[in-house]
Amino acid sequence: MDYPELIKVFGALFAIMNPFVNLPIFLALTAGFTVAQQRTLAVKVTVFSAVMCTVILIAGQQIIGFFGITIDEFRIAGGIVLSHIAWSMLNGNSVTSHQGTEQEQDHMQDLTGLAFYPITFPVIVGPGTIATLIIYAGHTTGLNTMLALGGIVGVILTLLFVVLFFASFFGKVLSDTMRVIMTRLMGMILLAIAVEMIVAGVKAVLPGLA
């Protein structure tokens, strides 16, 4: 996996896991919480997200292999999932397949339970994130590339932690207009990456079309 490919990975994951796009969901779920509770939740969400991403990077290919699915077939399916998410972002709609339904998001539990579901899964690490990690991990060529991929995830999770930890501050600074612009821009980038995934997958599965 070369440098341009790593940039694509960062673009795809940042578009899906974008802390500023997910900030309104976090604020809605923690309405009425104290700043201390929000920050405790931010720590738990970051830890849970890191654990889930690590498991997916290490065992994701084995999981899909168990079901007899090749990485290229999963690339096509993942591209379709990402294109659906991207299209919803472009149109300003909520992505229930990645973020859960409104009823699921409104379900309040203790801090640990809320941190994992629905904030970590499926808001942060949903089908789009899982598909992207498995697809790109399947095309790593060595330990250095896998570490680079893990580093990209680490950078995004660090940004996520900072934004959620200071959610009360960013919630006041980030206007609705800025959120809309960022969501639409990330949606266009994600759609382009999704199309590339589908095309590359179809070429590998059906080489005659290439």
Per-residue pLDDT 10s for the chain (210 aa) are 677 888 888 998 998 888 888 888 888 788 789 999 999 999 999 999 999 999 999 998 898 889 998 888 888 988 898 888 888 888 876 554 455 555 544 444 578 888 998 889 888 998 888 988 998 888 777 788 889 999 999 999 999 999 999 999 988 887 778 878 877 888 888 888 889 889 988 998 888 776
pLDDT of residue 103: 52
Q: CB–CB of 194/86 below 8 Å?
A: yes
**Which of 180, 67, 194 lies closest to 127, judged by CA?**
194
Q: How far apart, in Å, are the Cα atoms of 158 and each of 42, 45, 47, 161, 163?
A: 11, 11, 10, 5, 9
Distance CA 99, CA 85 (A): 10
Alpha carbons 118 and 38: distance in angstroms, whole number: 15
Measured in whole angstroms, the distance separating CA 71 from the mean position of its chain's CA atoms is 19
Residue showing tokens 């206007």:
175
- pTM, full prediction: 0.77
The end-to-end CA distance of the chain, in Å, is 21
- Alpha-carbon distance of 126 to 23, in angstroms, equals 16
pLDDT at 95: 55
- And the tokens for 56? 């997916």
- What token pair was written down for 162? 């900072």
Answer whether 178's CB lies under 8 Å from 16's CB: no
Are 2 and 141 in contact by the 8 Å Cβ rule? The answer is no
Of 155, 179, 156, 167, residue with least CA distance to 41: 167
What amino acid occupies position 133? L
